[in-house]
Amino acid sequence: MYHWPAVVVATPAHSGVGDLLSYRSGAALAAGTLVRVPLGAREVLGIVWRCDDAPPEGLAPGQARDVAQVLDALPPLDAGWRELVAFAARYYQRGLGEVALAALPPPLRDLTPEQLARRLKRPAKAAAAEIAPDHERALSPEQAGALAAIDGATAPVLLFGTTGSGKTEVYLQACAHALASETTAQVLVLVPEINLTPQLEERFRARFATVHGHDAVVSLHSGMTPPQRLAAWIAAHTGRARIVLGTRLAVFASLPGLRLIVVDEEHDPSYKSQDGARYSARDLAIYRARVAGARVVLGSATPSLESWHASEQGRYRRLDMPSRIGGGALPRLRLVDMNHQPKGALIAPPLLAAMAERVARGEQCLVLINRRGYAPVLACHACGWKSGCPHCSAYRVFHKLDRTLRCHHCGFTQRVPRACPDCGNLDIEPIGRGTEQVEEQLARLLAEARRPDGGPARVARMDADTTKAKGSLEAQLAALHAGEVDVLVGTQMIAKGHDFRRITLVAAINADASLFASDHRAPERLFALLLQAAGRAGRDAAHSAASELWVQTWHPEHKLFAHLRAHDHPGFAKAELADRQAAAMPPFAHQALLRADARTQEAAQGFLKAASRAAQALPQREAVTLYPAVPLTIQRVANVERAQLLVESDSRAALQRFLTAWQPLLLQARSAPEARGLIRYAVDVDPLSV
C-alpha cells in the first residue's frame, strides 16, 4: 500500500504552482520529515507537510512520482516550527515553500541522506580556545525585580531599561533559569547585527559554554560560511545547542526545546527583512513564543512605538529599569545653536574645546555623522555639474582616500575626474560632509590637543568602509576599549549597544536632516539614535557626572530636544503616539506596500494602477484605503525604475483579508498591457518606511 505525502518545495514566488505537491511513498512519513523529491527534471529538497492514505483527487494513475530519498537521519521539523513558517508565509504574503525552504540552511538543499548521516556523526569541533568562565553577578534590586517578573510572566515582556542599566545580565540569568527548568530547554537570543556586539557573544559563551559544553552556544547569522550555518542549525535542531544567538534569520531556527526568546535592542530596524519575505523577526518572535508556550522578552532603552503602545494597552508587560548600574548619571544634553556659530563651522568652537578637554583628561569622545565617504556630492560651480550616478537617481559620494566617486545604491565606482566632465573647469568641490572629512578635519582641529602622556590626540574612524575586512571591526572596537583612540568618528554603528568604559562625550554633528523628514518614523529613529548614542557615554559611574551629549542643530527649539534633555523616552513616546493617532498612522493604522520594479517608471506605475483597478471589484476592498501609485524617493536604482502603492486599514485582520484576496489579481495585473516592462513586484506588510 502506498502513502501520499503532500510536500512543500521552494517554488518561485507568484509562479502559480501550488505550495503543496503530492508524491507517492512506500512508507508513511511523519509531518516535518525532510525529503528529496523530483520537480520537473530536477530533484529538490522538500518538507513533508502531511501524509495522506489515498492519492489526491484527479491524479491519474501513472502520474504519481515517488519520493526520491528520505533524510531520516534528521528528526522531523516539529509542529511549532511548521506553524511559524506557515504563519510567516500567510502574513507576509509569500509562498509557503519559499518561506519554509529559505528558513533552512542552504547546504541542506544539496546533501544526500548519506552525506547528511556522515555529517551528523562527525564529532563537534573542539573549542578553539579556553574561555574563562563568567560568573553570575549579584543583581541590583531593579535587575532582580525584572528577573522575577520575567520568570513569572505569561504575556510578552518589554524590558525598558535605560542605557547601562544591565539588561544583559538580566537576559543571562533569565536564560540560566530557562535552561535549568528542563534538560532539553533551549533559548533563542536575537540581536540586530551580531558583528557589532562581539562582547555580547563572548559573554554568552563565557557564561554557558563553560558549563553546558562548548557547542551549547551557537551563533546563526548571514556572515557565517554555509558549512558553519549547517553545523549550527543541526546543533539547534537536534537539541545539542541550548542557546542560539543570532540575527533576524535565526528566528526561523529549528528549536524543539524552545522555552525563552530574548530580542535585544528590539527597536532596531534591522529586525525587518528588506527582501524576499519582508518579515519582522521581532514580531515573529512574539508569535513563535506563543505557539511554543515560551516566554519572550523584548529589551531596549528606546522601545519602538509599536512595542511601547502594546505595553500601554497591557498586551505586553512593561518592566522598568531606570537606573544605571553603579548609580551613574545619564549624560547632560548640550545643544549647540548653529545659528550663532561661525559660518561654515563643521564643529562649533565650544564643542571643539570640550573635546580637547576630554582628550587632556584621558577620556574618549564619539562623533556621530550619518554619512560615510568624504562628501555626499562633488560639484562644479562654473556649470552646475554634480556627481550624479548614471544608473540611479542619486549622487555618487566622493571618497577622498581612494579618490573615487561611488554610488552607495548600485556600487558604480569611478576615479574622481581631474576636471569637470561637462565644462572642463578644474575647480570641482565637495558639498556636504561625510565621515572621512570629519575625521580629516578633527585631526587638524585637534592638532594642539594633548593627552595626559603629552602625546597628540588620536582620531580614528569607524564606518562600513573601515570595517569591511573580516575581523577589522573587532580590531577597531578592541583598540577603542584599550584606550588607543581618543576620538572616534563614525556612522550609527558606533552608537549601538557597546559597553564602552571611557567615553564621556558624544557629539551628533548634523542630525537636523531627520527632524523634518517626510517619513513619519524619522523622529522616532532620531530620538532613539541620539539616546542610544548618549548611552555610550558615562557608563563608568566614576566618570558619569561629567558626561555630555552634544547636538549641533539649526533648530534648538524643536520639541524632540526637550524630551532628549530629560532622557524622557516615555514622554517622547506619548507625544509621538498622540501625533500618530491624530494622523491615523501606525500603530493606529495598519499598512502594506505594493512595490514594483520595472524598466520604465510608466510600467512600474502601470502595473500598480492595473492592480489597483482590479482591487475595486473585491468585496474586501471596502475595509481598506488604496493610495495612488507614486515613485520611490530614490526612483531609479541600477537602471531599475521603482514605484509603490500604499494600502491602509484600521484593522489588521481586514488588511490581511484584502491582501490575500488581492494576490491572484496581482498575478493577472502583471500581464496588463500598461505593465509591459515590469521586472518584479512584492508586497511589504508593516513596512518600515513609506
Which residues in this chain contact ligand ATP in the complex, by CB under 6 A?
137-140, 143, 161, 163-169, 301, 325, 497, 499, 535
Strands 20-22 and 4-9: antiparallel
Pick between residue 146 and residue 596 the one whose CB is nearest to ligand ATP.
Answer: 146
Was 420 annotated as part of a binding site? Answer: yes
Examine residue 106 and say whether the peptide bond preceding it is cis (omega within 30 degrees of 0). Answer: no
Was 51 annotated as part of a binding site? Answer: no
Q: How far is the CB of 264 from ligand ATP (least distance, A)?
A: 8
Contact 372, 491 (CB under 8 A): yes
Rounded alpha-carbon distances, angstroms, from residue 271 to 12, 78, 315, 586, 688: 24, 24, 20, 17, 10
Was 410 annotated as part of a binding site? Answer: yes
Was 380 annotated as part of a binding site? Answer: yes
Was 392 annotated as part of a binding site? Answer: yes
Residues of the shown chain interacting with Zn ion in the complex, contacts defined by CB under 5 A: 389, 391-392, 407, 409-410, 412
Q: How far is the CB of 393 from Zn ion (least distance, A)?
A: 9
Cell numbers for 184: 532539553
Question: Is residue 471 exposed (0-12), middle (13-18) or buried (19+ Cβ within 10 Å)?
Answer: exposed
Was 407 annotated as part of a binding site? Answer: yes
Partner from ligand ATP, Zn ion, none contacting 164, C-beta within 5 to 8 A by type: ligand ATP
Q: How far is the CB of 541 from ligand ATP (least distance, A)?
A: 9
203/481 Cα distance (integer angstroms): 16
Q: Residue with CB nearest Zn ion?
A: 407
Distance, C-alpha 401 to centroid of its chain:
29
535/512 Cα distance (integer angstroms): 20
Partner from ligand ATP, Zn ion, none contacting 169, C-beta within 5 to 8 A by type: ligand ATP
Q: How far is the CB of 111 from ligand ATP (least distance, A)?
A: 39
Q: Give me the DSSP letters along 296-348.
A: EEEEESS--HHHHHHHHHTSSEEEEE-SPGGGPPPPEEEEEEGGGS-TT-SS-
Q: How far is the CB of 636 from Zn ion (least distance, A)?
A: 8
Pick between residue 19 and residue 265 the one whose CB is nearest to ligand ATP.
Answer: 265
Contact 537, 530 (CB under 8 A): no
Pick between residue 301 and residue 380 the one whose CB is nearest to ligand ATP.
Answer: 301
Nearest-Å Rg of the Cα atoms of the chain is 27
**Cβ neighbours, 10 Å, residue 84:** 24
Partner from ligand ATP, Zn ion, none contacting 391, C-beta within 5 to 8 A by type: Zn ion
* Site of grid cell 491615523: 584
Partner from Zn ion, ligand ATP, none contacting 95, C-beta within 5 to 8 A by type: none
Strands 625-626 and 640-649: antiparallel
Q: How far is the CB of 373 from ligand ATP (least distance, A)?
A: 28
Q: How far is the CB of 478 from ligand ATP (least distance, A)?
A: 16
Partner from ligand ATP, Zn ion, none contacting 499, C-beta within 5 to 8 A by type: ligand ATP
Contact 217, 243 (CB under 8 A): yes
527/515 Cα distance (integer angstroms): 10
Partner from ligand ATP, Zn ion, none contacting 407, C-beta within 5 to 8 A by type: Zn ion
Partner from Zn ion, ligand ATP, none contacting 156, C-beta within 5 to 8 A by type: none
Pick between residue 399 and residue 496 the one whose CB is nearest to Zn ion.
Answer: 399
- Binding site: what residues are annotated? 380, 383, 389, 392, 407, 410, 420, 423
- Binding site for Zn(2+): what residues are annotated? 380, 383, 389, 392, 407, 410, 420, 423
